[in-house]
């Protein structure tokens, strides 16, 4: 009975790693698609978010392959910093933060309507959701690895 419970928690932790990796992979491929196929140039804040999302796709793939449940130690800081940048980007997009504080010097503005998919989904919101999902999957994995 105890062995079954341990296997179940190990499987749940591994599935959480797979989930985190799929979110990071989808977000990374989506960013590449938006930039290269749709031709939408990323702003400076988008580049910062990519700098934290792209390595997560690789790190989480390796962790899932190796069933490394201690991945939270090195993946969570990347996801947390990316989450903060995405939150600031979304606040800038929504007009909560003034455009004078925006780090975008050249290229597209973070506050304009072109920062949407399908005309209504803000790209900064999608990024924030992706980082949030990764963090939640990592927490779930960590909790199941403690059992």
Q: What Cα–Cα distance (Å) separates residue 128 from each residue in 37, 89, 106? A: 22, 9, 23
Q: What mean pLDDT value characterizes the chain?
A: 83
89: nearest Cα among 51, 55, 46: 46
Q: What is the pLDDT of residue 105?
A: 52
Phi, psi of 35 (to 5 degrees): -75, -45
For the chain, the structural domain boundaries read 2-146
Residue 61's Cβ-count burial label (10 Å; 0-12, 13-18, 19+) is middle
Strand partners, 117: 121
Q: Considering the entire predicted model, what is its pTM?
A: 0.86
Q: Which of 1.20.1550, 2.160.20, 3.30.420, 1.10.287 is the CATH number of 2-146?
A: 1.20.1550
* Residue 2 pLDDT greater than 80, yes or no: no
């Amino acid at each position: 009975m105890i062995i079954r419970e341990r296997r179940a928690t190990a499987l749940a932790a591994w599935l959480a790693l797979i989930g985190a990796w799929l979110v990071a992979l989808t977000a990374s491929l989506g960013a590449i698609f938006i930039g290269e196929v749709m031709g939408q140039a990323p702003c400076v804040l988008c580049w910062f978010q990519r700098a934290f999302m792209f390595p997560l796709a690789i790190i989480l793939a390796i962790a899932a392959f190796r069933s490394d449940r201690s991945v939270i130690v090195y993946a969570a800081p990347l996801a947390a910093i990316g989450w903060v940048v995405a939150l600031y980007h979304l606040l800038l997009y929504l007009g909560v933060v003034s455009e004078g504080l925006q780090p975008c010097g050249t290229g597209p503005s973070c506050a304009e309507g072109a920062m949407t998919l399908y005309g209504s989904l803000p790209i900064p919101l999608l990024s924030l959701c992706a980082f949030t999902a990764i963090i939640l999957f990592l927490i779930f994995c960590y909790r199941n690895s403690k059992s």
